[in-house]
Structure 1
Amino acid sequence: MVIFLGKFKFFLNLYFLFVALSQFIPALKIGYLVTYIGPLVFILSVTISKEAYDDLQRKKRDNEENSQKYEILTEDGFRYIPSSKIKVGHLVRIHENQRVPADLLLLRTSNVNGECFIRTDQLDGETDWKLRTAVSTTQHLEFDSQLCDYQASIYAEEPHKDIYKFIGTFTSFSSDSDNVSTPLNVENTIWANTVLASGSAIGLVIYTGRDTRSVMNTSFPKTKVGKIDWEINRLAKILCVVTLSLTFALIAISNFRGIWYITWLRFLIILSSIIPISLRVNLDLGKTYYSYDIMHDKNIPETIVRTSTIPEELGRVEYILSDKTGTLTKNEMELKQIHLGTLSYTTEAMEEIRSNLLMIYENQNELNMRFKRSKDMANRIRDIVLALAICHNVTPIISEDGKLTYEASSPDEIAIVKWTEDVGMTLIYRDTKKIKLRTPIDTILEFTILEIFPFTSETKRMGIIVRDDITNEITFYMKGADSVLSKMVLFNDWLEEECGNMGRKGLRTLVIARKKLSYDVYEEFQQKYDQAKLSVIDRNGEMERVQNTLENDLELLGLTGVEDKLQDNVKPTLELLRNSGIKIWMLTGDKVETASCIAVSSKLVSRNSSIIQFCKIHDIIELKEMLVGLSSMTEACLVIDGETLQLCLTSCRDLFYETTKNLPAVVCCRCSPTQKAEVTKLIKSKIKNCVCAIGDGGNDVSMIQSADVGVGIVGKEGKQASLAADFSINQFQFLAPLLLWHGRNSYKRSAALSQFIIHRGLIIAVIQTVFSALFYFAPIALYQGLLLVGYSTVFTSGPVFSLVLDKDITFATAMKYPELYKELLKGRSLSFKTFFQWMLTSVYQGGIIMTGSILLFEDQFQNIKSITFTALILNELLMVAFEVKTWHRTMILAEVVTLLFYISSMFYLKTDFEYHNTGPVEEDPEYDTIVKANNMTADIDDEILIIHKVILIII
């Protein structure tokens, strides 16, 4: 019922509902009730059936999930209950590869260390396994059954959407000791809809149903409405005005005869076909076909359409905003260079690193002062290799065949750990407390993890504090972006220059640093940090402030450069898109030098373009002067860093856009996810056409969702971008056919389909108007019953809808001549100009059909309905045939079958084609007007004869 009522929030549906209801009023009744009820019921049935099917499928999936059995721990042992019965406070046991039914606090695992891995791809789209840790006090219990008698209280924050944050406190009560409070964070939780990847675990339910992170993040996004839909909506308003004006003109010309407002309402009902009720459902069905066509195109395999309401927008893209890593590049990382300040090692010199590392471990106690220089360099190599092997979130996994593989949230991390393995330092074990490394001489180094500071896109750095189990030395390692760590390290005079050199080679840089901590310094820090962890108010802020006390005077160990290879066919794809008139911007979190290098190597910047850099500008006056100077350089590529971009977005948005709108390319570096979204919204607000955003990572989601058209690439970092996007593709090169071919077809077809449907309603209204005008402006319907219902359905819908199969050029032509796409950006396929051209065509054709039928068949007035209706149907079939650019067998079949069906209907619906069958005489208040009009025919024979002769003379 709710779905049914919801359909009447749309103006067209509400309008035709009132038209249908008017037929229950005797004074307004025109012909048969089915004439007006039938189309409305059909349209609503199609849309409601689709939504009802989706709801049934959703309910079926919900029932399947709710009926799954799970083990809960009670005082009587484990017992099974359906997931729908699980409540907060239940102790639930999860087995390997089992879906988690609710948000759980992890209390015990089958692993002695209290660890387990979970898969979160159904929650956040990331494909890597996540490590989770049980609460230490409950993990140390001897038996699972002891949990039922365990005395403790748990504080959990209010439910919220952030799946990466959780604040809680676990307080254990004991009769013989003080209460022990343990801080809880996201590492101690398992969210609903994740899957346990290893072992078994017992968790306490803390959130269920709508309070779970999964449900809170399953927000139904606001349905995107394409620009073509808004354009058609404006045209519908014009048609509404035309209907009101025309009906008012008809009663005005008749001098408001009789009960004029009744006559006016009857005219509104008769001419209601001007506003096409079937337009929306035809367009929706067309969009469904376009989506099917896209997903089954062999040129772009495995493409997924997640938003089927906007395929036409693919043909109106004026700007493409693209991420770099994983979008233009493959996100397949390989460490290519390492710089130690005085020496730099490339791939070719990695053997030297390996030999130095081997030397220092083999001769650790034998190197004498004669080899001091070699010893110093070997020690520096060992220090940075050790730092890289320790400071990460990588977990080694040994498969059944004994092969060592790595799991991590970032390909950069895996690339670096693989490199340390190649040079002789292998990560063989990692849990929340220990790291074990195998040296080049097969000795094992063990480190105790004291604290970890995970990487975030906001901090752009990661840190770890470890203690060497042999020497008991405590070391704080940190790695991160040069823009952040350059302010924290000592003796960084060479850092900026070398970062720039690596960036110009297209390498992603990471600064590696360390700080040795005395036991007292560490204890003081840890005490403050533990207190911050227990803080209920602003816990994260308190922890960050304590962490900042360590992040100063770090020893700079070196700089790494990781290469990310370009995606296949990126260069020709960007060239195609640029030649099609689309402006392309790169928005990346990488440094200026790296982004500039990729922009040049990918041909984002053409050969004739110069590169202008706006970096580290903090003065608004200086920035405005530089923007004004740039406005005259139409062939330049602007490269702007995050600080300067933020100044543009906050202080001179309009000037920034006006300056950059004519540039062929813009590269925004060091962009945060928020800045990416802000740039997208800025451009979107300034142009009439569409903005397309494309990316592959979680940091691209806000940009993708802010754009008119969001395209996600299934990447190494997971499916977050793909799941949030309107269209999902596997490679950047698929973007060209998606826009130039499918975008063109979708837009052209919808434009033709909508205008034909409008024409179909207008022409029959014109015929009706001429008919009424010729006969005393009587509000009598010429076509009623099955004829009127069949006109917009079985007699014309097939050929008209078959226009969704039409294509004006071939795929090869669209790819060979991308310049053809520029025509679509002008919006000429559906505009006010084309609309009024179709209106004039409808008036001309409708007038000719009605007046021509009367003049040429004056002696067959009783057959005027069949004559004009046949002419009308043939006219529509011919119009479709003339409009087709490329014939498809389905289109031919639709034309032939429709024609044959119409001819056969003339025999089966013989009475409907007779003029006297305009409806029950006793129910038609204007029937006497028709009788009078028939009698009048003899009086105007002379005039018709004169007009007939004039037409014959002109012919």
Structure 2
Amino acid sequence: MPSPKGKLKAKYSDDEGTRDGPSWTEAEEEEERAGLLDQHRKRTPKPASLIAPSIEAESWTERIRRLGTQTYSGKSRTIPFNPPGAFFFNLYFLAVAVSQFVPALRIGLLMTYVAPLAFVLVITIGKEAHDDYLRRQRDSIANSTRYQILDWSSSNHSANPLSNSHHASTVSQIQGETIPSTTLLPIKTIPSAQIRVGDILLLDKNMRVPADLVLLRTSDQASGSCFIRTDQLDGETDWKLKLALEFTQNLADGDAGLLALDGLSSIDDDHRLASNVNNGQGKKNDHTTRLEVYADKPIMDIHTFNGTLLIHSRQSVGAGVGGGGRSAEEEPAENRHPNLGDDLDPVRDSIDDIEINSIHEILPHHSASSPTSTETSKVPITSENVLWANTVLAAGQAVGLVIYTGTETRAVMNTSYPKTKTSLLDIEINQLAKILCIVTFTLSVALVALNGFRGPWWIYVVRFLILFSSIIPISLRVNLDMGKTVYAHQIENDPEIPGTIVRTSTLPEELGRIEYLLSDKTGTLTQNEMELKKLHMGTMAYGLDSMDEVALQLATAFGENAPDPLGHPAGSGLPTASLLATRGRRDMSSRVKDVILGLGLCHNVTPVINDDGSVTYQASSPDEVAIVAYTESVGLKVRSAGDLPVHVGVEADGDHHPGEADGEVTFYQKGADAVMAKIVQSNDWLEEECDNMSREGLRTLVMAKKKLSNEAYHRFTRRYLSARVDMGADDRQEAIQRVVSEELENNLELLGVTGVEDKLQEDVKSTLELLRNAGLKIWMLTGDKIETATCIAISSKLVSRGQYIHQVSKLEGPEKVQKELEFLQQKQDCCLVIDGGSLASCLSYFESEFIEVTTKLPVVVACRCSPTQKAEIAMLIRRYTQKRVCCIGDGGNDVSMIQAADVGVGIVGKEGKQASLAADFSINQFSFLTKLLLWHGRNSYKRSAKLAQFVIHRGLIISVIQAVFSSVLYFAPVAIYQGWLMMVPFPPLCTYFSPAYGYATCYTMAPVFSLVLDQDVNEDVALLYPELYKELTKGGVIMILSLILFENEFLNIVSISFTSLILTELLMA
């Protein structure tokens, strides 16, 4: 009888059904899940983008497997460059150059018109090619980074040769009746570009995660946790806690050889891992476990992952070869894995509408000759069990199973390519070029008409068009691009605004045209450095000056001999309760204990022990760190994260943590007052105290609890676990939220309210005043409530002294919206404060009218705004006003707003770099905006405008001289400047040919570059009189009339004209 074989397999589905590698047992093994897969095939469309091949299907999946995890960020795969917009911009000059190949149209030397075009294209393409080369170099480095994987495809296995399939390799191949005690699993090192779905990767500290992985095992044996840095994925600088699957983390030492981490830091290509495959000497293993990982189709959301780990436990019934066995039903409960306990009973065998990307199986050997009994359990795989690509393992070591690679990873799917932004100056110049083109054609036809339409007059028209082509100078775009480079260099090297980065070098001139500034509040106007200032519990309030009293109350409540509510040993070193004398103080101490304990539990803060023994806190929000720091200061210190039996995380509503003590379960919840007010018991002080704290500029959070009986807790646990593995639900998170709302989030006991202060950034008041004097209309868009936002607006001087503040909240219906708009039309000097719901109503009923009215107001404060609303406001202002809009923010929720603006400015803040990386300009603090706009923006715009006028004037004068010369020669289309004079593109060639050669470029090179460095006023004057910025917003610097009337450029025209006449006389002599 042939020996049965256990295999690591990859299973996938396509339109033709489900394919898999060689069977790991007999036919009945496939029948075991036939119903599941058949049901899946009937209901779910099968994606064709599934990777993970097996032997039988290797050719079918070869194309997909070649994708791997290779990174490519270049702009073209076929040529090393792809200059954007070059064809459209140079179409006119290309037509002129091509015309010179026609003998009847040729004027002078062919190179006279070909060389300038070639020069411009070489400069443009060369720049793009250089940038693309640098991108390819970075890609090459990323793709060649080497990683260690378990080598399932090794064919020279020392003890038991493995299969030659990369994803269908055997864990053990039993030859004859001799059963070796271990199976050696080799490890090999490969470049990241060769990583495929189904590979098991070994990661060490500070290694970049090359693909999306399911976390199987970590070096933290107790908790199975590890920390990752996600700043390159979501921009957040805090560390994220990830947990390995409990089943694979808790494998016995013998079975865990597959995923062993021992010696990981010093593994080389020859290192091999050992895995036990038997339960005793001379006996075959009579218990087998097959694991299947189900993953849904790739999506963009990095906070959501729906997957399931199927655990098929097979136990031999009766005696088999080498020993007897018991069925799964006969196995003692204490010997079963904790994941297979009674809590999972209600959710066994229920899987619906899943999208199978890959199913990976680890199958130890079992005896095929013995009757068997199989038990299947399901364990949910959530986002906390997954490591996304481009994150970095911050601490510890980890082993993971690759589930998505290449374009299916969350990192690639979330890589957005924002719309290319074009400055208003470029748009105006393009419009002007169209007018000049019409002028050129009109002038050409007029000269031919004056001579009469005789002979091949159409050829004469074309020749005149070529002669007057200098009216639209080909060097204009090159000169402007060189100027932009100089402006970007000046901005980045300004010592007064250190750390400023120009990420979009085509927009410096836009900084001088801003009329609307849309700003975030937290982290932008404020420092995002939080400190808990007040703790209110209805009848008692504590501030920073009464921390000793809180510590005393907390010490009294716990008592020296009181049991720890989390089940830790008594005696935490806190003071005893000997100072209490009355029952009333004991009651107050109990209330303080509940609040502080809830604050100490309801958070996502992770304490990290540094090399020097100090402890730092990592969290997704500074609010959380401030609260934990407060609890530590009064005597309750966070020891570690993840010690609670169940952690229910529903971020939209706050933090949930149950703590079990004295035979019952206490559920603690912390959240925003707007949410908590709906689920706490009736009270008469919550709304009032939240409003009072908001008026003081404090951010409020509400603390509540609920006691659950053991029966209620177990009922919730069963429903919660069932919802977590319910892959049939359209939204697993929605199913979980429904369970939490029905079982926990109702009739909570209100404990207290915290007030956290966020300090203003440095020089915010003076910055806002200068910008307002410069003519900018400022909007503050925030997610905070009206009271807090109003307080910050007043304290930051965003609202002027004595200015009327008009608040609009809970506005519904078109009649009320129309009434408010009519009031605002009569009150144009007030500050509007509006909440998110009212804003949505206004935009829904009277979109254009609302924007028309509010854009005339000096200040608008929008509260409770979602990221989508922020971006929508920016786009609507641009659409209806046709004015330049600048958006500034520091968090991930500001990215959409920043990308929707004409100019996006990101601040490197406490919440990460996501806004900074997505912005056109990155600064370190809000006050840098003053110099960025009033000095660098103003100079960049005025310089580029003068530069454009100078170059266009130069072409006009040359064309006028040509027209006069042709008129003298009876309107003959003959060039006045012969040979190389108009061709030489850069100064070195000027000295080679002749000082007179290349006049249009060489002689006027110095004036062009002098304009790039021109300053009409010094920096101190520009910042002292911000009103100078207003003239630029009128857009009159580059208007067509300024070219026709010459008012400010008369001196340039005179100098060019007389110099041209002198040179003409010299050449004609």
Q: TM-score, normalised by structure 2?
A: 0.76
Amino acid aligned to 1:130? K
In 1, the alpha carbon distance for the partners of 2:878 and 2:598 equals 45
Give, in angstroms, the shift of residue 42 of structure 1: 0.7
Given that 1:509 and 1:561 are in contact with CA atoms closer than 8 Å, whether structure 2 keeps it comes out as: yes
Matches within 5 A, 1:333-344: 333-344=530-541
Q: How many angstroms does 1:275 deviate by?
A: 1.1
Deviation of 1:736 after TM superposition, in Å, equals 0.6
2:844 to 647, 650, 664: 650
Distance in 1, matches of 2:826 and 2:409, equals 54
Matching of residues 321-720 of structure 1 within 5 Å: 321-362=518-559, 371-431=582-642, 434=643, 448-455=644-651, 459=652, 461-468=653-660, 470-536=661-727, 537-549=730-742, 550-720=744-914
Give 1:838 shift. 4.2
The answer as to whether partners of 1:507 and 1:561 remain within 8 angstroms in 2 is yes
Contact conserved, 1:764 with 1:846, CA < 8 A, in 2? no
Return closer, same or farther for 1:283/1:77 CA change in 2, 3 Å cut-off: same
User: Which letter does structure 2 place at the counterpart of 1:818?
Assistant: P
8 Å CA contact 2:81, 2:132 repeated in 1: no
**Residue type matched to 2:293 in 1?**
I
Do structure 1's residue 36 and structure 2's residue 113 form an aligned pair?
yes
1:412-456 deviations in Å (ceiling 9; x for gaps)? 00000000001111111213xx0xxxxxxxxxxxxx23132142x
**Residue 926 of structure 1 corresponds to which residue in structure 2?**
none
**2 CA distance for matches of 1:492 and 1:765?**
83
1:78 to 169, 178, 187: 187
Which position in structure 2 is the counterpart of 1:835? 1043
Aligned-pair CA distance for 1:28 = 0.9
Distance in 2 (CA, whole Å) between partners of 1:531 and 1:52 is 55
Percentage of identical aligned residues: 55
Q: CA deviation at 1:7?
A: 5.6
The answer to whether residue 352 in structure 2 is matched with residue 158 in structure 1 is no
Q: Secondary structure at the match of 1:151?
A: strand
After TM superposition, give the deviation of residue 564 of structure 1 in Å: 0.5
Aligned CA distance change for structure 1 residues 599 and 98 (closer, same or farther; 3 Å): same
SS in 1 for 2:534: strand
Secondary structure class of the residue paired with 2:647: strand
Alignment of 1:173 onto 2:312: yes
- Equivalent runs, 1:181-200 vs 2, <5 Å: 181-200=378-397
Question: Which blocks of at least 5 consecutive residues in structure 2 are unaligned?
Answer: 1-77, 153-184, 260-274, 278-288, 316-373, 563-576, 984-997
> What is the CA-CA distance between 1:127 and the residue it aligns to?
0.9
Report the equivalent of 2:344: none
1:195 to partner: Cα distance: 0.9
Greater helix percent: which structure?
1
CA contact (8 A) 2:658 2:665 kept: yes
* Kept in 2: contact 1:389–1:417 (CA 8 A): yes
1:332 is displaced (CA, Å) by 0.6
Q: Could you tell me how far 1:399 is from its partner in structure 2?
A: 2.2
For residues 538-576 of structure 1, the C-alpha deviation after alignment (integer angstroms, 9 at most, x for no partner) is 222222222221211111111000000110111111110
> Shift in Å at residue 480 of structure 1?
1.3
1:123 aligns to 2:233 (yes or no): yes
**Letter in structure 2 aligned against 1:414:** V
| Distance in 2 (alpha carbons) for counterparts of 1:253 and 1:79 | 84
8 Å Cα contact 1:3-1:48 kept in structure 2: no
Unmatched 5+ residue regions in structure 1?
Answer: 435-447, 854-865, 872-905, 907-912, 916-955
Q: CA deviation at 1:867?
A: 5.0
Asked if structure 2 preserves the Cα contact closer than 8 Å seen for 1:766 and 1:847, the reply is no
Structure-1 separation of matches of 2:435 and 2:528: 51
| TM-fit CA distance, 1:581 | 0.8
Q: 2: CA distance between counterparts of 1:308 and 1:383?
A: 55
Structure 1 match to 2:136 = 59
Tell me how far 1:802 sits from its aligned partner.
2.5
> Per-residue CA shift, 1:455-486, capped at 9, x if unaligned?
2xxx2x22323232x52431222111111111
- How far apart in 2 are the matches of 1:774 and 1:739? 51
Aligned AA for 2:413?
Answer: M
Runs of 4+ in structure 1 deviating by more than 4 angstroms, as ranges, are 1-10, 147-150, 363-370, 838-849
- The equivalent residue for 1:938 is none
Offset, 1:246:
1.1
CA–CA distance in 2 between the matches of 1:328 and 1:847?
Answer: 50
Partner of 1:823: 1031
Q: Which moved more, 1:501-510 or 1:615-624?
A: 615-624
* Aligned partners of 1:762 and 1:843 also within 8 Å: no
Contact 2:83 2:128 in 1 (8 A): no
CA distance in 1, matches of 2:246, 2:480: 59
CA distance in 2: counterparts of 1:6 and 1:416, whole angstroms: 52
* 1:555 counterpart letter in structure 2: E
The whole-number CA distance in structure 2 between the counterparts of 1:251 and 1:841 is: 31
Q: Secondary structure at the match of 1:662?
A: coil
- Cα distance change on mapping 1:418 and 1:794 into 2, 3 Å: same
Q: Is the 8 A contact 1:295 1:304 kept in 2?
A: yes
Rounded Cα–Cα distance in structure 1 between residues aligned with 2:559 and 2:1051:
96
Letter aligned with residue 106 of structure 1: L
Q: For residues 545 and 756 of structure 1, what CA distance do their matches in structure 2 show? A: 68
* Count of equivalent residues: 841
Per-residue CA deviations over 1:77-109 (Å, capped at 9, x if unaligned) read 111111111111111111111111111111111
CA contact (8 A) 2:207 2:392 kept: yes
Tell me by how many angstroms 1:914 deviates.
5.5
Partner of 1:241: 438
- State the shift of 1:123 in Å: 1.5
State the match for 1:932 in structure 2. none
**Aligned equivalent of 1:20:** 97
1:206 matched to 2:206: no
Q: Tell me how far 1:839 sits from its aligned partner.
A: 11
Q: Offset at 1:369?
A: 12
Distance in 2 (CA, whole Å) between partners of 1:265 and 1:870 is 24
Question: What aligned pairs does 1:41-52 form with structure 2 within 5 A after superposition?
Answer: 41-52=118-129
Please name the residue that 1:268 is paired with: 465
8 Å CA contact retained: 1:111, 1:199: yes
Listed one character per residue, the Cα deviations across residues 516-535 of structure 1 (whole Å, up to 9, x for unaligned) are 12222222222222222222
Q: Quote the Cα distance in structure 1 between the aligned partners of 2:82 and 2:537.
A: 70
Secondary structure of 1:244 counterpart? helix
Match of 2:630, SS state, is: helix
Aligned with 1:475: secondary structure?
A: strand
Q: Which stretch of structure 1 is more off in the superposition, 515-524 or 691-700?
A: 515-524
Distance 1:4 1:352 in 2: 69
2:83, 2:124 within 8 Å by CA — same for their partners in 1? no
Q: Quick check: 1:608–1:635 contact (8 Å CA) kept in 2?
A: no
> Aligned residue for 2:1017?
809
Work out whether residues 763 and 846 of structure 1, in 8 Å CA contact, stay in contact via their aligned partners in 2.
Answer: no
Deviation of 1:230 (Å)? 0.7
Query: Which residue identity does 2:802 align to in structure 1?
Result: N
Q: Indicate the larger mover: 142-151 or 779-788.
A: 142-151
Q: Taking structure 1 as reference, are residues 586 and 360 closer, same or farther at Cα in structure 2, changes over 3 Å only?
A: same
What letter matches 1:541 in structure 2? E
Structure 1 residue 639 displacement after superposition? 1.0
283-292 or 618-627, larger mean C-alpha shift? 618-627
Report the Cα distance in structure 2 between the residues aligned to 1:655 and 1:218, rounded to whole angstroms.
36
Output the CA distance in 2 between the equivalents of 1:748 and 1:844: 16
1:902 is matched with: none
The DSSP-based 3-state class of the residue aligned with 2:973 is coil
Alignment equivalent of 1:793, drawn from 996, 1001, 1020: 1001
